[in-house]
C-alpha cells in the first residue's frame, strides 16, 4: 500500500497543514460512500472532502471510524449549503454529528449565493466556529474576487482556502492571483474537467504522459500539484484511486507545464457562482 507520507502538505494561513492531494466524494451515492472512502483510506489518502449537500457525511464518518486511522492523521473538510447560511452554527453541528467527529479540519461556505446576500452573515458564524476550535480552519468555495473583497472589508478572518472550479481549460487566473496575494490557498474542484471536454486526449497532455510513462490523468494531476493547487480527484473505482495517487515519482518539465497552462480557453464546465442560489 502506498504511504500517505509521500503526499506533500501546504501550510494554510491558519497554521494548519493540509495534504495537497486528497479525495473528493462529490456525487458519490450514500449507499456507496462508506466503501469508497474505505478504499481511498486504504490506498493512502488522508484528506477527504465532503459537503452537507452531498448527502454522504454519515457514511464518510462511518468509514473514518472503521478505518483505524488516527484522527490526527486525517484532514476532513465539509461545507455549509446555501439555504443554511443564516443558521450556519446549527448546520455545522448537524454536519459534525453526521460525521461522528469532534471537529473538522476545514469548514467552507459552499457558494456565495449572492442573490441571497447572506454569505457575510454566514462567514461571521464560521468565525465563531473557528474560535471554538470545532473547525481548525475555515474557508470558502466558489467565491470570486468581489465576494472575497467584501469579506476582507466586513469581517475579521481571511479565508484559509477558496475552492473553485479549476482545470487546464479554465484556470480562473484573476481569482487565483487575487486570493494568493491575500494568503488564501487555492483548492481546485473538477481538476480533470469532469470529463466534459477532451482534456485527456489533447496532445499537450498525451505527449507528456508518453514521455513519463504515465496516464494523461496522472499528468494533469501532476500539473495541478506543481502549480500549487490543492486537489481531490474523485473516483468510485479503487484502481483509479490508486492511479490518481501514484503521481509522486515524476515531475513535469517547465516546457510541459507551460504547454498545459496554455490550454486556458475560459472553458467553464459547471455553474457560475452568480447563478447558484
Domain that holds residue 203: 4-267
Q: Over 90: is that where the pLDDT of 45 sits?
A: yes
pLDDT digits 0-9 by tens, 209-238: 999 999 999 999 999 999 999 999 989 999
Q: Does any domain span residue 275?
A: no
Q: Does any domain span residue 214?
A: yes
5: confidence class by pLDDT, cuts 50, 70, 90: confident
Catalytic residue among 54, 103, 107, 197: 54
Q: Which pLDDT score, from 0 to 100, does residue 2 have?
A: 57
Q: Does any domain span residue 273?
A: no
* pLDDT, mean of residues 99-112: 98
- Please indicate whether residue 54 is annotated as part of the active site: yes
Per the structure, the count of domains in the chain is 1
Q: Does any domain span residue 31?
A: yes
| d(C-alpha 66, C-alpha 163), whole Å | 28
Q: Which pLDDT score, from 0 to 100, does residue 209 have?
A: 98
The torsion region of residue 117 among left (phi > 0), alpha (psi -120 to 50) and beta comes to: left
* pLDDT, mean of residues 149-161: 98
pLDDT digits 0-9 by tens, 162-197: 999 999 999 999 999 999 999 999 999 999 999 899
Q: Does any domain span residue 23?
A: yes
Mean pLDDT, the chain, whole residue set:
97
Q: Which pLDDT score, from 0 to 100, does residue 3 have?
A: 62
* pLDDT, mean of residues 147-152: 98
Q: Does any domain span residue 277?
A: no
- CATH number at 136 reads 3.20.20.100
* pLDDT, mean of residues 82-110: 98
Q: Does any domain span residue 177?
A: yes
pLDDT digits 0-9 by tens, 108-149: 999 999 999 999 999 999 999 999 999 999 999 999 999 999
Amino acid at each position: 500500500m502506498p504511504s500517505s507520507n509521500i503526499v506533500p502538505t501546504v501550510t494554510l494561513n491558519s497554521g494548519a497543514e493540509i495534504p495537497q492531494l486528497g479525495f473528493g466524494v462529490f456525487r458519490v451515492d450514500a449507499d456507496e460512500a462508506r466503501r469508497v472512502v474505505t478504499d481511498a483510506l486504504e490506498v493512502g489518502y488522508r484528506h477527504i472532502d465532503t459537503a452537507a449537500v452531498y448527502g454522504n457525511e454519515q457514511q464518510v464518518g462511518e468509514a473514518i471510524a472503521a478505518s483505524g486511522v488516527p484522527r490526527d492523521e486525517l484532514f476532513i473538510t465539509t461545507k455549509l449549503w446555501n439555504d443554511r447560511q443564516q443558521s450556519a452554527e446549527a448546520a455545522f453541528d448537524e454536519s459534525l454529528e453526521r460525521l461522528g467527529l469532534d471537529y473538522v479540519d476545514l469548514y467552507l461556505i459552499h457558494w456565495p449565493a449572492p442573490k441571497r446576500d447572506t454569505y457575510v452573515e454566514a462567514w461571521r458564524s464560521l468565525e465563531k466556529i473557528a474560535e471554538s476550535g470545532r473547525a481548525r480552519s475555515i474557508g470558502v468555495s466558489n467565491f470570486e474576487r468581489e465576494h472575497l473583497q467584501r469579506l476582507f472589508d466586513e469581517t475579521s478572518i481571511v479565508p484559509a482556502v477558496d475552492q473553485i472550479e479549476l482545470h487546464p481549460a479554465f484556470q480562473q487566473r484573476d481569482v487565483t492571483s487575487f486570493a494568493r496575494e491575500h494568503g488564501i490557498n487555492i483548492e481546485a474542484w473538477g481538476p480533470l474537467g469532469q470529463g466534459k471536454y477532451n482534456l485527456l486526449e489533447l496532445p499537450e497532455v498525451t505527449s507528456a504522459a508518453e514521455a513519463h510513462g504515465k496516464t494523461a490523468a496522472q499528468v494533469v494531476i501532476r500539473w495541478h500539484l506543481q502549480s500549487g493547487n490543492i486537489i481531490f480527484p474523485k473516483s468510485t473505482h479503487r484502481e483509479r484511486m490508486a492511479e490518481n495517487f501514484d503521481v509522486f515519482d515524476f515531475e513535469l518539465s517547465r516546457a510541459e507545464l507551460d504547454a498545459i497552462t496554455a490550454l486556458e480557453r475560459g472553458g467553464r464546465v459547471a455553474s457560475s457562482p452568480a447563478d447558484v442560489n
